[in-house]
Structure 1
Amino acid sequence: AVRAGGWCRSRVAGSEGSSAGLCAGGCSGRDRGGDARRLSLLPLREADPTRKPSPPGCRWDSLLSNPPLRTTVLLPLSHQCGRRRPPEAPLPSLCAAGHRSPPARSGHRCVADNANLYVFGGYNPDYDESGGPENEDYPLFRELWRYNFATDTWHQMGTEGYMPRELASMSLVLHGNNLLVFGGTGIPFGESNGNDVHVCNVKYKRWALLSCRGKKPNRIYGQAMAIINGSLYVFGGTTGYIYSTDLHKLDLNTREWIQLKPNNMSCDMPEERYRHEIAHDGQRIYILGGGTSWTAYSLDKIHAYNLETNTWEEIATKPHEKVGFPAARRCHSCVQIKNDVFVCGGYNGEVILGDVWKLNLQTFQWVKLPAAMPEPVYFHCAAVTPAGCMYVHGGVVNIHENKRTGSLFKMWLVVPSLLELSWEKLLGYFPRLATLSRAQLLHLGLTQGLVERLK
Structure 2
Amino acid sequence: MLDQTMDALSMNDQKPDYPQGDILYQAGKPDAAMQVYKNRIKDIIGSRALPSLPGCNEVDSIRQFYIDLLKKDRQSLVSLMGCCNGIARIHYKDRQYEQSLMWLEEAQIMHDCGRHLAPKPLYDWHQYNVDDPEISYQFCRTRSLLSDNFLGMSNTGNAVFHRWVITNRRMPPTHYTPRFKAEAPEAKLSTMTSIRHPSPELSAGLTVVESNLQMKGSWKRIYVKKMGDGHLDRRMSFTSFIWNSRLYLAGGRQESPGPFYRDLWCLDLNELKEWRRLPDYPVPYSTENVFNNWVMVPYENKAYLFNGRLSVDYFDLVNETWSSIKTTYKPTRKDIAAGMAVNGKSLYPGHQRFVQGATMQIINGKLYVFGGRHEKTNVACNLFLELDLKTRKWRRLSGSPDIPRNVDSSCPGPRKNAATWTNKEKTKLFLMYGLADRQFLPKNDPNWGMDAYQHDDLWSWDIETERWKLERIHGNAPCPRSEMSFTYSEKLDRVIMFAGYNPTCPTDLPRPEGGWSGYNFSYYADTFILGDYPISKSPSTSLDTEATSTRSKWKQILTPGFPTYRCQAQLMTDNTTGKVYMYGGFTNNDFVLGSKELRPRAFGDLWQLRFDEPGGFFSEDGVIWEQEARTAKVGPWQRCFACGTTGRLKKCGGACNGKVFFCGDECRKDGWKEHKTTHGCHKK
| TM-score normalised by structure 1 residue count | 0.51
> Partner letter of residue 346 of structure 1?
G
Aligned counterpart, 1:277: 485
Q: Is the 8 A contact 1:102 1:145 kept in 2?
A: no
Query: 1: CA distance between counterparts of 2:458 and 2:556?
Result: 16
> Partner letter of residue 435 of structure 2?
T
Query: 1: CA distance between counterparts of 2:317 and 2:494?
Result: 33
Query: 2: CA distance between counterparts of 1:169 and 1:9?
Result: 30
Task: Rate the CA distance shift 1:283–1:202 in 2: closer, same or farther, 3 A.
Answer: closer
> Partner letter of residue 352 of structure 1?
A
Aligned counterpart, 1:60: 275
User: What SS class does the counterpart of residue 144 from structure 1 fall into?
Assistant: strand
Aligned counterpart, 2:661: none
1:232 paired to 2:471 = no
1:203-214 to structure 2, matched below 5 A, reads 203-210=390-397
User: What SS class does the counterpart of residue 315 from structure 1 fall into?
Assistant: strand
> Partner letter of residue 207 of structure 1?
W
Q: 2:471 aligns with which of 260, 277, 293?
A: 260
Query: 2: CA distance between counterparts of 1:105 and 1:142?
Result: 17
Aligned counterpart, 2:382: 195
Q: Is the 8 A contact 1:17 1:169 kept in 2?
A: no
Q: 1:355 aligns with which of 600, 605, 614?
A: 605
Query: 2: CA distance between counterparts of 1:101 and 1:5?
Result: 37
Task: Rate the CA distance shift 1:206–1:292 in 2: closer, same or farther, 3 A.
Answer: same
Query: 2: CA distance between counterparts of 1:348 and 1:271?
Result: 18
Q: Cα deviations across residues 345-383 of structure 1 (Å, max 9, x unaligned)?
A: 11122311111112245556689xxxxxxxxxxxxxxxx
Q: Is the 8 A contact 1:273 1:290 kept in 2?
A: yes
Query: 1: CA distance between counterparts of 2:409 and 2:464?
Result: 13
Q: Which runs of 5+ in 1 are unaligned?
A: 22-52, 67-80, 82-90, 94-99, 122-139, 368-455
Q: Alpha-carbon deviation of 1:183?
A: 1.3
User: What SS class does the counterpart of residue 245 from structure 1 fall into?
Assistant: coil
Query: 2: CA distance between counterparts of 1:54 and 1:17?
Result: 24
Aligned counterpart, 1:35: none
How many residues are matched? 276
Aligned counterpart, 1:111: 297
Q: Alpha-carbon deviation of 1:168?
A: 1.1
Q: Is the 8 A contact 1:222 1:237 kept in 2?
A: yes
Task: Rate the CA distance shift 1:7–1:196 in 2: closer, same or farther, 3 A.
Answer: farther
Query: 2: CA distance between counterparts of 1:19 and 1:249?
Result: 34
Query: 2: CA distance between counterparts of 1:9 and 1:292?
Result: 37
Q: Is the 8 A contact 1:7 1:62 kept in 2?
A: no
Q: Which runs of 5+ in 2 are unaligned?
A: 1-223, 231-249, 258-267, 330-345, 400-407, 438-451, 504-520, 534-549, 590-600, 622-684
Q: Is the 8 A contact 1:223 1:237 kept in 2?
A: yes
Query: 2: CA distance between counterparts of 1:155 and 1:330?
Result: 30
Query: 2: CA distance between counterparts of 1:18 and 1:218?
Result: 31
Q: Alpha-carbon deviation of 1:226?
A: 0.7
Q: Cα deviations across residues 288-314 of structure 1 (Å, max 9, x unaligned)?
A: 221135432114x43546585254332
> Partner letter of residue 340 of structure 1?
K
Cα RMSD, aligned residues only = 4.2
Q: Is the 8 A contact 1:9 1:63 kept in 2?
A: no
> Partner letter of residue 487 of structure 2?
A
Q: Cα deviations across residues 390-427 of structure 1 (Å, max 9, x unaligned)?
A: xxxxxxxxxxxxxxxxxxxxxxxxxxxxxxxxxxxxxx
Aligned counterpart, 1:147: 315
1:344 paired to 2:583 = yes
Q: Cα deviations across residues 147-183 of structure 1 (Å, max 9, x unaligned)?
A: 2234433224322116445821000111233211111
Task: Rate the CA distance shift 1:214–1:292 in 2: closer, same or farther, 3 A.
Answer: closer
Structure with greater Cα Rg:
2
> Partner letter of residue 302 of structure 1?
F
Query: 1: CA distance between counterparts of 2:466 and 2:496?
Result: 24
Query: 1: CA distance between counterparts of 2:377 and 2:254?
Result: 8
Identity %: 18
Aligned counterpart, 2:462: 251
Greater share of residues in helix: 2
Query: 1: CA distance between counterparts of 2:287 and 2:302?
Result: 14
Q: Alpha-carbon deviation of 1:284?
A: 4.3
Query: 1: CA distance between counterparts of 2:552 and 2:301?
Result: 37
